[in-house]
Amino acid sequence: MNADPLAHVRDLFDLDDDVVYLDGNSLGAPPRHVAERVRDVIRHQWGGRLIRSWSEGWWETPERVGDRVGRLVGAAPGQVVVADSTSVNLFKALMAAVRGTDRSEIVVDAGTFPTDGYIARSVAELTGLELRAVDPERLDVSPATAVVLLNHVDYRTGRLLDMAALTAQAHAAGAKVVWDLCHSAGVLPIELDRLGVDLAVGCTYKFLNGGPGSPAFIYVPTHAQADFHQPLTGWTGHEAPFAMTPGYVPDPGVSRARVGTPDIISMLALDAALDVWDGVDLKDVRAKGLALTAHFRSLVEGLPGVEVITPDSPWRGHQVSLRHPDAAVLMERLVERGVIGDHRPPDVLRFGFAPLYNTFEEAERAAAALAALL
């Protein structure tokens, strides 16, 4: 393999060298320094400074950490806020996108991650719009379409969509587009600002390594913030949250996407985890991810009963998905042997490759374990 410009980054993670961890597309590994940073938050910021910490940096944390995430998804400062969960942020985004529309439908990726489909259906029911599922590779947007919801990387197959082309197609039909970046943030260069994306959401506990249940993020471009009217008008989204006035007036900027009190401990754990991205070029991350997945694919293609369902082209995320009739049992046995991927019913094995810490040697160990089982 060529020299790995990211090899040194692995040392920043707390990993067991006896385990091959290929499930970073579900839960990223912890950077070593996060535990000590969280201890400081609990002992000093909370335990020592008590409520004074709110005015010593806590209150602005969602926007500050949002800007750090924004750098990784192509958003200039002031357009990303970290808050709530992906599902909650998606609800905000879709409701804001269809507010006041005279159009009649929401279009959703037919293979979408289930929660996206559930939220989209709830929004359709609440607003009286129709919900139409489509294959995004044959996207059909009509004058009736108010908004299109798309997953940048398919969670099951790893297929990557062309954000530029599909965003342009939706806009040409007068529709807005909301992108779910859960499986692409921290995987490849994303250019939300340059491509004119209307709204985007994503989680931080996968390739961004924020920890289990770490808060999600929402992107609202500067030009759209004045018209971003989301339905969850909580006090922290108010322009003067501590004025405690009876009427709601939204913050003029991206803070209007906030709802309730920030999850400070989780958010500051994410803040610490994002340090591993300092000095990292996403082009290097993307190049290594494509090389890792190509190498692993070359080792597992042709194994008995295995069908590779991840695209054999650059139009993929950083995972390799295999179909096998005994997928659930195979993954259970792989985990017993120290190779951790995951299973998606009924018959899919997923192996996620995080370029910041996964190695080519780990790809070979995983493939050899699978071959031995088969």
CB of 185 closer than 8 Å to CB of 72: yes
Report the Cα–Cα distance between both ends of the chain, in Å, rounded.
27
Instruction: Give the amino acid at 202.
Output: G
Q: Are strands 105-109 and 307-308 parallel, antiparallel or unpaired?
A: unpaired
pTM score of the predicted model: 0.97
Going from the C-alpha of 186 to that of each of 25, 162, 181, 252, 280, the distances in angstroms are: 10, 17, 9, 29, 11
pLDDT recorded at residue 1: 54
pLDDT recorded at residue 2: 63
Q: How far apart are CA 184 and CA 294, in angstroms?
A: 17
> Domain residue spans in the chain?
7-32+280-373, 39-277
Kindly report the CA angle at 207 between 363 and 196, in degrees rounded to 5?
A: 125
Domain 7-32+280-373 has CATH 3.90.550.10: no
CATH tag, 39-277:
3.40.640.10
Instruction: Name the residues annotated as catalytic.
Output: 113, 180, 205-206, 350
pLDDT recorded at residue 261: 97
pLDDT recorded at residue 281: 97
Q: How far apart are CA 199 and CA 34, in angstroms?
A: 30
pLDDT per residue, tens digit, the chain (374 aa), is 568 999 999 999 999 999 999 999 999 999 999 999 999 999 999 999 999 999 999 999 999 999 999 999 999 999 999 999 999 999 999 999 999 999 999 999 999 999 999 999 999 999 999 999 999 999 999 999 999 999 999 999 999 999 999 999 999 999 999 999 999 999 999 999 999 999 999 999 999 999 999 999 999 999 999 999 999 999 999 999 999 999 999 999 999 999 999 999 999 999 999 999 999 999 999 999 999 999 999 999 999 999 999 999 999 999 999 999 999 999 999 999 999 999 999 999 999 999 999 999 999 999 999 999 99
**How confident is the model over 11-23, as pLDDT tens digits?**
999 999 999 999 9
Q: How far does CA 109 lie from the centroid of its chain?
A: 16
